[in-house]
Structure 1
């Protein structure tokens, strides 16, 4: 990390004053922090080093990058080091006007824009002598505006995924500071698959053997083959399909079967049937594979129908879940996190995005359920809870409301919020007591009732371990009341757990 210039500013009042005005890098404002509590989605540390007179804040990140957040909810990296950020701020007074410029705009356009902005600044105060003095004192070269805009552009493109800024209370993401296009998630996700596919086509047996044993690489290679189809791929597709069966029924297994079937070779039908018969799940998932006596046209027609309905050749048409799941599988955690947070933010800001195409008044809340599951999978319980709470609030039937609140309580408990979990379970019991519809009429005799009792016991133990004896006893009493309503069969499996919980809770002083 290069922070030589920052140390000079901190040690020289005259230089610090120049940096603050007219260049808007005011060290004194660091003591006031940002306009609201914030944190990085990745969990990395942030240090406020300066601010400006618009309410913007300069943060120092763990790797030395400088993240700037304005007061309107936008943020972006503006330098890979403090020195680089300061050099840009000093060299480009009014730099925020250039956030959407890039080297592709050309030298003439960049220089014209900078000249226009700086002329406006000169009408209000001096910048030229001040810039020369500060550059000399901090050891900065006299770089051209074009070069500095290029540095700013490169820095801004590094903002995501590692430096996505969140409002700490609401957990929603700041908007990007710029409007530059970014590659879609599927591009980095497919990169290894495309490389493997190229090696397979070249006859690389090392890769061929590796993909037989590596489920993740195999899945990504099949996705790469989906979007880059070639007549000569049939043999490698057979190889990938045969080994993908070891993963049981996956989307990629169905994809592999479709890609093989599209070639229309009836001699592949025994392989397709062998794959279908791997286990119960594959038997169900591939139950519509044509019979072994099918001809080429029937086989090709079956594959074409599934391809048009489920796959296709444009990665942009794939649901976001395809790419976030493959990103997580490959360890691209922060890329997946950014995609998921942005998706959740869109729904939070505009619930009409959940409108069901089959009925304009009905909401399809399944995207929220999926988001909660994916956030929990990557270990981001606060975001999982944010999605689950909204999901629970939008459920209509009593059964769905109880099920959603049950998951919400579990997430609250496991994320260290037992008080919230206790309140959620109270809401859940209120629904059981007055459901308002018939969907819960048999809850006492099915697994839902047992799950409710088990979550009460789990929360009572958590509260007991935290030394919150009174609240633990309250939750335990509620658990015993729930168990008392269960059928004999449903209660049988949870009574022992309740007994152990009671001994733990009542053993507290």
Structure 2
């Protein structure tokens, strides 16, 4: 990564010294207090530090992210030059800087802060600022423009610049005022299309009907902004949902039926009867059914509703960030952790999925449940590439069912005759193959040893079903020993 201003600071010790003091951008401290990475997986380079242990990072798109040593991180500028402008002309010692201030108001606050800085630690502040601005070639733009740029950058921290602690995968905090409302993001296309339909755009109507993802957004938009004139559109959308193949998106058909039924029109009864599998048989009953459905609708304001819609819209990073922040805030809540784990699997984030699954495993009370969640964790750890962690998860699965000599409780007494026995054994075989491919002979051999015990323990029908995978694993392990001399 290169940046003109950054290269100047690295090649001009005099300018680097001014940036470090008094403006607290020290290129000699280009490291952070802990290992971190962006949730998006994009590259990140530490370029400077401040005197509180915070760090400035240069992102792949040349934007600058600041992370504090206390776990906060926010995008501050679109370039190193803009970041230095902000630090030099709107310095940290100036309090009370807000978007409500005009140019003169901002200048007044900066003058007041500068006066205190001169008295307390920077008597040569004016000369130092002038020298750094001149040496770096920083523009003299209005303060209101500079402040707006900084605020705009902060508002774009999510979803592409969310910082994670690498060991535990928790996200750095971002002030609520800069957090994106996922519902507004994913409803944007639906709201726009709905307004086009309302204005008489026939093309928008057909677009909404033809695209199942857009159709979902329009239905959700109509759910939160109801108008009597939308009934014709809602009928059309319900007809499309009713004709679509039955799938995991049944929720959209139910929502469309609720919105149509709430109007209580006789002519809609045949369509509603079909869409509700006979639950609606007349117009009066349609209204009652709609009210009852809405009263028990737990998805209307569920964050998972918007996360799933974001995923379907291809907004993977929006979905990822929302799920990570939900996971960070989730305590010992098994159902929520299970839902998070499955949602993270759908977007392909195996590392965060494994984190949710690990926490879920720790909450299981019975041997059968511990074994069931442990084998899932093993699969996820292997999927993210942590084969050692996968091995530890399988060890917990074996311990839960008593393969390693610990008697299981009654819930797992017949584990070897159930599908669980086959699933645990299958994961051992998959891990053996993965370990061989990764060149980890010790893990491959030890896992295969446990696998042989499992194959001799589980039901014969299950062992037979795994024969092909078992043969591959045995040959792979045999190849580790090499040719006989």
Q: Does TM-score exceed 0.5, indicating one fold?
A: yes
Please tell me whether residue 170 in structure 1 is matched to residue 153 in structure 2: no
Question: Gaps spanning 5+ residues in structure 1: where?
Answer: 276-285, 355-363
| Residues 429 and 451, structure 2, Cα contact 8 Å, conserved in 1 | yes
In the aligned structure 2, how far is the partner of 1:2 from the partner of 1:494?
53
Tell me what 2:100 maps to: 104
Tell me what 1:28 maps to: 28
Tell me what 1:333 maps to: 316
Match of 1:310 among 292, 297, 300: 297
Equivalence map 1:42-61=2 (5 Å): 42-61=40-59
Match of 1:319 among 296, 302, 307: 302
Tell me what 1:73 maps to: 71
Tell me what 2:129 maps to: 131
| Residues 99 and 148, structure 2, Cα contact 8 Å, conserved in 1 | yes
Stretch of structure 1 that moved more, 183-192 or 470-479 = 470-479
Stretch of structure 1 that moved more, 133-142 or 424-433 = 133-142
Tell me what 1:495 maps to: 467
Equivalence map 1:184-223=2 (5 Å): 184-223=181-220
RMSD, matched Cα: 2.4
Can you list the C-alpha shifts for 1:175-194, whole angstroms capped at 9, x where unaligned?
12x45354411001000011
In the aligned structure 2, how far is the partner of 1:395 from the partner of 1:288?
40
| Residues 102 and 153, structure 1, Cα contact 8 Å, conserved in 2 | no
Match of 1:120 among 116, 119, 123: 116
What SS does the aligned partner of 1:439 have? helix
Report the TM-score, using the length of structure 1 for normalisation.
Answer: 0.87
Shift of the alpha carbon at 1:36? 1.2
Equivalence map 1:350-389=2 (5 Å): 351=331, 354=332, 364-389=333-358
Shift of the alpha carbon at 1:217? 1.1
Shift of the alpha carbon at 1:10? 2.8
Can you list the C-alpha shifts for 1:350-405, whole angstroms capped at 9, x where unaligned?
x2xx4xxxxxxxxx311111212222222221111111111111112222211111
In the aligned structure 1, how far is the partner of 2:357 from the partner of 2:371?
12
| Residues 2 and 81, structure 1, Cα contact 8 Å, conserved in 2 | no
Can you list the C-alpha shifts for 1:446-469, whole angstroms capped at 9, x where unaligned?
222211111111111112222334
Question: Residue 244 and residue 311 in structure 1: after superposition, are their counterparts in 2 closer, same or farther (change >3 A)?
Answer: farther
Please tell me whether residue 269 in structure 1 is matched to residue 269 in structure 2: yes
Match of 1:409 among 355, 363, 378: 378
Shift of the alpha carbon at 1:160? 1.4
Tell me what 1:451 maps to: 423
What SS does the aligned partner of 1:58 have? strand
What SS does the aligned partner of 2:480 have? coil
Shift of the alpha carbon at 1:144? 4.8
Q: Which runs of 4+ in 1 moved over 6 A?
A: none
Question: Residue 96 and residue 493 in structure 1: after superposition, are their counterparts in 2 closer, same or farther (change >3 A)?
Answer: farther
In the aligned structure 1, how far is the partner of 2:185 from the partner of 2:196?
18
In the aligned structure 2, how far is the partner of 1:344 from the partner of 1:309?
25
Can you list the C-alpha shifts for 1:302-321, whole angstroms capped at 9, x where unaligned?
11110121169xxxx61110
Match of 2:364 among 395, 401, 408: 395
Report the TM-score, using the length of structure 2 for normalisation.
Answer: 0.91
| Residues 94 and 109, structure 2, Cα contact 8 Å, conserved in 1 | no
Shift of the alpha carbon at 1:112? 5.0
In the aligned structure 2, how far is the partner of 1:497 from the partner of 1:59?
46
Question: Residue 375 and residue 435 in structure 1: after superposition, are their counterparts in 2 closer, same or farther (change >3 A)?
Answer: farther
Please tell me whether residue 290 in structure 1 is matched to residue 280 in structure 2: yes
In the aligned structure 2, how far is the partner of 1:2 from the partner of 1:227?
47
| Residues 111 and 146, structure 1, Cα contact 8 Å, conserved in 2 | no
Shift of the alpha carbon at 1:435? 6.1
Shift of the alpha carbon at 1:407? 0.8
Stretch of structure 1 that moved more, 429-438 or 154-163 = 429-438
What SS does the aligned partner of 2:409 have? coil
Shift of the alpha carbon at 1:263? 1.0
Question: Residue 241 and residue 95 in structure 1: after superposition, are their counterparts in 2 closer, same or farther (change >3 A)?
Answer: farther
Question: Residue 2 and residue 444 in structure 1: after superposition, are their counterparts in 2 closer, same or farther (change >3 A)?
Answer: closer
| Residues 55 and 67, structure 2, Cα contact 8 Å, conserved in 1 | yes
Tell me what 2:153 maps to: 155
| Residues 102 and 150, structure 1, Cα contact 8 Å, conserved in 2 | no
